[in-house]
Amino acid sequence: MKQIFSLLLALIFLASCQQEINQKENTQEQSKVTARDGVFIHISHGMDDPHRVVMALQMAVMMSENKDVAVYFDIKGIEVVLKDAENIEYLTFAGSLEQIEKLKGKGVLLMACPGCLKAAGKTGDDVMDGVMVAEKEKFFNFTKGRILTLDY
């Protein structure tokens, strides 16, 4: 009788463990399904290469329709997000200022390199509203999914 009782307890314990494992697997699968992938767009050019700038911004606008997007401006790219930035235009692309406004309206993370700002004699006070001075954790925390990088 004790053996049967012990066997029943063991079976109940195993069934309980299996149910917990199944719940964890379902939760992980749901997390994978709901996590959007992210696109990290790196812009290192400014007025020196308008095609690269407006193409990168256009990609950011397009990708932000169904992906998490972060745009990082460094080297000459910081020229694009300064308060006194000129509108950069190229052929049939929308201008840089128009595209940046779209990105801000969509809540896209826009970051300027702090070292590049300093090298240009600028500070965080010189960047447009809605653009932040980059912090390293933001590079990883803007999305829960995979990260694809586009470099311009």
In order, the DSSP letters of 99-145 are: HHHHHHHTT-EEEE-HHHHHHTT--GGGBPTT-EE--TTHHHHS-SS
Q: What's the CA dihedral at 115, 121, 126, 131 to 10 degrees? A: -20
Q: Tell me if 138 sits within 8 A of 108, measured CB to CB.
A: no
What pLDDT shows up at residue 96? 98
What pLDDT shows up at residue 8? 53
Each residue's pLDDT, cut to its tens digit, for the chain (152 residues) gives 566 656 555 556 656 656 666 666 665 555 555 788 999 999 999 999 999 999 999 999 999 999 999 999 999 999 999 999 999 999 999 999 999 999 999 999 999 999 999 999 999 999 999 999 999 888 888 999 999 999 99
CATH code of the domain made up of 36-151: 3.40.1260.10
Whether the model clears a pTM of 0.95, i.e. scores above it, the answer is no
- HSE-CB at 134 with a 13 A cutoff on CA atoms is 20
